[in-house]
Amino acid sequence: MFTMMKVHPSSKKRTNHRSQNAIVSSNPNPNNTKKLWRLPHVFASVLELPLHSDDDVSIDETTQFLRFVAWCKCRGSSSCGVSAEAVEIVPGITKIVIKGMDGGDCFAQQCYGFRFRLPPWTRPEMATAVCSGGKLVVTVPKTKTRGN
């Protein structure tokens, strides 16, 4: 007899635009590129450690470098081979990833939880990582001048 129709409220999303043909699109002009919501240009370098975000990490800053020290689990020995690698995500945005921790490649598994935004006067391409005695030590050198 009577059919029930569900009525959906209009979208509260700010990026939706309604055209003359009643088609909702998230980008009114297809020639425009999407703008990034998070400001990656403010912090163009990021350090990602294969640790949980709630793990304790000691950060030491000197005039020459930033040093990050955290406990790690090395399988079977007091030292394990790790390396720091600078990966350019898009031109101008770089992240430092630690490879080889616990015998696996955490970069491929994306198991990172601890992230630290590096200031612009650091040199991520020169970062080093050492795991010895159950401690992971990552050192990121700085440039001589702090100016942008």
Question: CA–CA separation, 45 vs 67, rounded Å?
Answer: 15
pTM of the model: 0.62
Per residue in 74-108, pLDDT tens?
654 555 678 888 988 888 888 888 887 554 555 44
Domains, the chain: 45-141 (2.60.40)
Per residue in 56-70, pLDDT tens?
899 999 999 999 999
Tokens 């955490």 identify what position?
106
